[in-house]
Amino acid sequence: MEFLTYIVSHYPYLSLAFVVVSLWFILFLVRKNERKVQLVASTFGAVLGPISEWFYFQDYWYPPSILEWQLGPLRLLLEDVLFGMAVFGVAAALVPHRHVSIKFSLTSILQAGLDWLVVGVLILVLFMLGMNSIFAASLAMTLAGVALWACHREHGVAALRTGLSFACVMFAIYGIGAWLFPQQTSYFYSTYWMLHGTEAGSLWFGVAATEIIFAAAFGFYTATWARVRLMRPR
């Protein structure tokens, strides 16, 4: 227990990443039909996770890392790779079973990458207009998800359900962590979370409200994206 407390205290992001990676492996073992989709989505996440953190390091948080690299203006963390891979895979694995056959072609992969490029541009525009990065990302993914849904309305209900499910899963992870390690959680928010003490830094039962809002938007968009770009009905 002392070792676990030490890891949570000194490397909270790594601790979070390991929890979500563990969930990723559970879903990988249980939801066999979604394995290929989960792996493809996770590959996107392993790449996009570290890149997207450039925004969040500016005005949202600046967590410590057990292993990091500096690549020009990018601060690349091992945790970003693990967490990005895991959350993309978890969100994709939560998609209902009947959409399980993967679209694996150069065109589909390019379209999938282009979708996230559009999201990145939206985040950048909102960020440059003065919106905090976490809200910019949440709004950009919501708008992009609605746009995809408008073109593929058959996926709307399932995508909303997946978004809410993913938000609930992340709320449970954060909430249990805050309950088990209250002092470490309080220290993390006051030290590494840039919204601490601001109007935007509200907590819901000890969990940052921004994280739940982000999780819902991410789950909704990623589910819609995975269903439209990576899957097709059998």
- For residue range 5-47, list pLDDT tens digits in order: 888 889 999 999 999 999 999 999 998 877 888 999 999 999 9
Q: Which has the closest alpha carbon to 76: 96, 99, 48, 98?
A: 48
**How many CB atoms are closer than 10 A to CB 205?**
11
Q: For the chain, how long is the longest CA-to-CA vector? A: 52
| pLDDT (mean) for 126-151 | 93
Termini Cα distance of the chain: 47
**How many CB atoms are closer than 10 A to CB 165?**
18
pLDDT band, very low/low/confident/very high, at 230 (cuts 50, 70, 90): confident
Residue 158 pLDDT exceeds 80: no
Residue 233 pLDDT exceeds 70: no
pLDDT of residue 160: 79
193-229 residue pLDDT tens: 999 999 999 999 999 999 999 999 999 999 888 888 8
pTM, two decimal places: 0.91
pLDDT of residue 100: 54
Q: Which has the closest alpha carbon to 81: 64, 93, 72, 68?
A: 68
The CA distance from 195 to 192, in Å, is: 9
174-185 residue pLDDT tens: 999 999 999 999
The CA distance from 92 to 88, in Å, is: 6
Pairing of strands 101-102, 231-232: antiparallel
pLDDT above 90: percentage of residues in the chain = 65
The CA distance from 19 to 95, in Å, is: 20
77-131 residue pLDDT tens: 999 999 999 999 999 888 765 555 566 677 778 888 999 999 999 999 999 999 9
pLDDT of residue 108: 78
Residue 170 pLDDT exceeds 80: yes
pLDDT of residue 234: 54
